[in-house]
Structure 1
Amino acid sequence: MPTGLLLPANAHANGKYHGTEKGEFSVRRSLRRVFSFAKHLSAGLVVFMVLGNQTDQANAAWRFEVLPNVEKGKPAVRAVNDSKHDGLYVRVTKLSDTTAVLESRQFAPASEITYELPSTKEPTHVEVTFTTAPNAQSPLFVWRTVAMPKGVPPIRYRGARGFERPADFDEFWIRAKKQLAAVPMEPVIERVPDRDTSTGLLYKVTLRSVGDTKIVCWYFVPRDALDDQGQARRRCPAVIIMPGYGAEEPPIDRTTSGIATLSVNPRNHGPSRDYWKCPVEHLVWNIADPENFYYRLAFLDCLRAAEFLFERPEIDPKRVAAEGGSQGGLFALALAALEPRIACVCSNVTAFSAYADGIILGTLGHHKTYREILGRNDTTATLVRKSLAYTDGANMATRVRCPVQISMGGMDPVCHYMQGIVVYNRIPKGVPKEYHVAPNVPHAVPPEMREWNARWYRRWLGVQ
């Protein structure tokens, strides 16, 4: 088990730094065929293509933005055209039956048009298509979302049917935690002094996990939390940060705010790939084997990292948060679901959650992949659905008992903001929670989300 001693600031570095300084949420690797949209990623941003942006370059003068109106009113689209000479035609169809037109309308030429979705008898997945005219072949803008009954705001959406929490959900995760507990942690802690900052000391931490593998974490500790011998002299709050799909979670220094950070690289991420490298895209690894599905194993990797942190004498065990973006947002929820000592969660652009909606609404990334797999309807489909249900972020949210903040992008083609609402509504009654949508933001964690996160930490970790 870890001791109370960390190597002092002037200790020799035995490990080599593998990180990056290009931001806290970045997708750096090409995810090849499964995540072909990755070529549009840059510093955590996605260029919103085809579904959710102008697609007819001849009419690029039209600019579109989504108005989620999650708290009140109806979801809407605003279109702006500086020329004032072009009209617009909109058609709303059911995604379950694209021949079922719920509404169509021709707008006269104008500089600005705001279109509100029609009300429906029950929540309905729809596709909204804007063109210049009814017979136009090339759409200007296409948006998938959920139309709501009259008077029911989107924030009350509970989600589509499917991928429900399995009856043995709790037993499944109790069994998984027992499997992890049987594996000795055997931490190896190495100083990385060349990456120290004026306020923080960096350590490389290697831990054993299930499946006879190891994971690598980066641990930044405030200098004033340790004495010259590496002994703890005060307890500080901490944030456990987990990565987006395929990306390394690099060292993140928040020691100027007095916060320690543990950047976790589950198997097949960053330097942990030295110990476990997936031969296929990991989102499909053992997908028809719930007990060995990638995300079950990765959740346990994150839990192992948290166990290490909670044993550190320089960490205040009552002030440890979980954070991540995209896939990392799923990991943050899962960690809080499995580790009751987590004090609060910031889950940004939450991915791999609310599959019943995501497989319909998502137009890029993992939802498209899972839709294709399930569309084969072969003998493994039942097991695939079980694997996804056991690890669905919306189902994991039912086990969370600490304050949770969910933040989504208003124009995200990967993780629709309505999926974030489903996760939000699965959090048990009485648990403090917040939900935010960043307008016009694609699959990204912009500065405004970071501000929401910082405010959450001020409230629940007591940091400045």
Structure 2
Amino acid sequence: MLVDLPLDQLRDYRPEVPEPDDFDDFWAATLAQARSTPTAATSEPADTPVTAPRVEDVTFPGFGGEPVRAWFVAPPVPGPLPCVVELIGYGGGRGLPHERLGWAAAGYASLVMDTRGQASTWGSGGGTPDPHGSGPAHPGVMTRGIESPQTYYYRRLVTDAVRAVDHVLTRPDVDPDRVAAVGTSQGGGLALATGALHGRVAAVVADVPFLCHLERAVSITDAAPYSEVASYLAVHRGAAEQVFRTLSYVDGVVMARRICAPTMISVALMDDVCPPSTVFAAANAIPVPPTVEVYPFNGHEGGGQEQWLRSVRWLGEVLA
């Protein structure tokens, strides 16, 4: 069933979502610290039977210079190529190379970033730990380190995503003027953040994005992973103000206000995981109105493979 406001109201939904006064300084300092580490990226041929596209097993420095795994997949054509930095949904990881061939088949290089400390809920796994402790937290990562924006898990994951773009910009086989950040659900939220925080991102595709309008999301859906925050607050009854302050540093609405690149966002009106009002709140906050694809009768699967086709065509036009 429809889980949120009617579509005509969603298209005009522009809530007052507060942002921290030090938001820009916080992220500037975080990224400067990550970029100051001397750790170098490594790359070697992947152990896979896939031979038509070129597949490399990449390790690049993420938050704090910590190693983040990725697949780099490129079609067997001369470069430099347009490149997609692909960011993964909640609980998943980079998987196996043969699962990540779509963008190469469409003529793009892609860097598929592993997800630190996740990759064990669905899919084929990953290999990037999150070597940071945490205070008391609900199972999952939504409340890991939520006592402070400095210790919050998503500070590290967003930084990894920005550093993934840094990595592809150093590659001679990538056209630095045609790099896109793309993802679904958590990956969509990370794509919005990457587009906001990295000035060289040329396009953003965020499908049914997570991490948007977080205070509303926690209050109107009991689906995981937003329910992790509600469960945490049910125990830590006096922590709501600090929790939502921490979340405001990664909120997709606050990030969206800073996106300058062309953006496509998809939304599903029966999505109880990432409610449509939270997605439209982010879409409507982008200074240059994005392309919004609406799927009236879908849940969190969104547009599925149909949306992938639309995003490939859209990126072809934008990056041309």
| Equivalent residue for 2:216, pick from 325, 343, 357 | 357
1:455 aligns with 2:313: yes
Give the partner amino acid of 1:179. Q
Measured at CA, do residues 396 and 176 of structure 1 come closer, stay the same or move farther in structure 2, by a change above 3 Å? same
Displacement of 1:384 after TM fit?
1.2
Structure 1 or 2: more strand by fraction = 1
SS of the equivalent of 2:142 reads: helix
1:199-244 CA-to-partner distances (Å, cap 9, x unmatched) read x10001012223463110000022223xxxxxxxx31101000110
Take 1:332 and 1:380, find their aligned partners in 2: how far apart are those partners? 29
Aligned counterparts of 1:434 and 1:306: Cα–Cα separation in 2: 22
Decide which of 55, 66, 70 is 1:202's aligned counterpart. Answer: 55
- Per the alignment, residue 80 of structure 2 pairs with 235
Give the Å deviation of 1:185: 3.7
Work out the CA distance in 2 between the residues paired with 1:325 and 1:383.
28
Q: Work out the CA distance in 1 between the residues paired with 2:259 and 2:49.
A: 35
Q: Which has the higher helix share?
A: 2
Q: 1:224 aligns with which of 66, 77, 81?
A: 77
1:164 aligns to 2:2 (yes or no): no
2: CA distance, partners of 1:267 / 1:241: 14
What amino acid is aligned across from residue 451 of structure 1 in structure 2? L
Matching of residues 31-430 of structure 1 within 5 Å = 52=1, 66=2, 144-146=3-5, 153-159=9-15, 161=16, 164-192=18-46, 194-198=48-52, 200-211=53-64, 213-225=66-78, 234-250=79-95, 251=97, 252-253=100-101, 254-270=103-119, 271-274=126-129, 276=131, 280-375=139-234, 378-428=237-287
Are residues 147 and 372 of structure 1, via their aligned partners in 2, closer, same or farther at CA, if it must alter by over 3 Å?
Answer: farther
Q: Give the 3 Å change call, closer, same or farther, for CA 375–398 of structure 1 in structure 2.
A: farther
- Structure 2: state its 5+ residue gaps: 120-125
Matched-pair contact (CA < 8 Å) for 2:62–2:164? no
Deviation at 1:376, TM superposition (A): 5.1
Q: State the Cα distance separating 1:439 from its structure 2 match.
A: 2.2
Q: How far has the Cα of 1:452 moved from its partner?
A: 2.1
Check whether the contact 2:57–2:71 (CA below 8 A) recurs between aligned residues: yes
Which of 1 and 2 has greater Rg?
1
Amino acid at match of 2:66: T
The answer (yes or no) to whether the contact 1:241–1:249 under 8 Å persists in 2 is no
C-alpha distance in 1, partners of 2:91/2:132?
A: 11
Contact 2:4–2:269 (CA<8 Å) still a contact in 1?
no
Residues 177 and 202 in structure 2, CA contact (< 8 A), matched pair in contact too: yes
| Whole-angstrom CA distance in 2 between matches of 1:168 and 1:156 | 28
Q: Given the superposition, is the C-alpha separation of residues 302 and 419 from structure 1 closer, same or farther in structure 2, using an over 3 Å criterion?
A: same
Tell me if the contact between 2:106 and 2:312 (Cα under 8 Å) persists in the aligned partners.
no
| SS across alignment from 1:272 | coil
Residue identity opposite 2:298 in structure 1: V
SS at match of 2:5: strand
Residues 457/282 of structure 1: CA separation in 2 closer, same or farther (3 Å cut) = same
What secondary structure does 1:247 align onto?
A: coil
Quote the offset at 1:379 in angstroms.
Answer: 4.3
Report the secondary structure of 1:273's partner residue. Answer: coil
Task: Give 1:197 deviation, angstroms.
Answer: 3.6
Q: Deviation string for 1:361-419 (max 9, x for gaps)? A: 22301222223334556443332111100001111111111011110112111111121
Helix, strand or coil: the match of 1:145?
coil
User: How many angstroms apart in 1 are the aligned matches of 2:215 and 2:240?
Assistant: 14
1:222 partner letter: P
Q: Tell me, what secondary structure is at the counterpart of 2:128?
A: helix
C-alpha contact 1:408 1:436 (8 A) present in aligned 2: yes
Q: Normalising by the residue count of structure 2, what TM-score does the alignment of the two structures yield?
A: 0.88
> Which of 300, 305, 311 pairs up with 1:443?
300
User: 1:264 Cα shift?
Assistant: 0.4
How far apart are residue 153 of structure 1 and its match? 3.7
For residue 257 of structure 1, report the CA deviation from its aligned partner. Answer: 2.4
Aligned equivalents of 2:183, 2:207: Cα separation in 1: 6
Cα offset, 1:440, TM superposition: 1.4
The one-letter amino acid of 1:165's match is E
What is the percentage of aligned positions where both structures have the same residue? 28
Give the whole-Å Cα distance in 1 for the aligned partners of 2:267 and 2:49. Answer: 32
The whole-number CA distance in structure 2 between the counterparts of 1:441 and 1:397 is: 24
Question: Are the aligned partners of 2:92 and 2:115 in contact in 1 as well (CA < 8 Å)?
Answer: no
Please state how far the C-alpha of 1:432 moved relative to its aligned partner. Answer: 4.7
Indicate if the aligned counterparts of 2:206 and 2:264 stay in contact, CA closer than 8 A: yes
Q: Distance in 1 between matches of 2:31 and 2:65?
A: 15
Alpha-carbon contact 1:185-1:209 (below 8 Å) kept:
no
Tell me if structure 2 keeps the 8 A contact 1:415–1:443.
Answer: yes
Cα distance between partner residues in 2 of 1:257 and 1:455:
10
| CA shift digits 1:118-171 (9 cap, x unpaired) | xxxxxxxxxxxxxxxxxxxxxxxxxx42369xxx64201112x5x511111111
Distance 1:278 1:204 in 2: 27
Q: Distance in 1 between matches of 2:228 and 2:154?
A: 15
Consecutive unaligned residues in structure 1, runs of 5 or more: 1-51, 53-65, 67-143, 226-233
Q: 3-state SS of the aligned residue for 1:330? A: helix
CA contact (8 A) 1:242 1:323 kept: yes
Question: In 1, Cα distance between the equivalents of 2:27 and 2:132?
Answer: 24
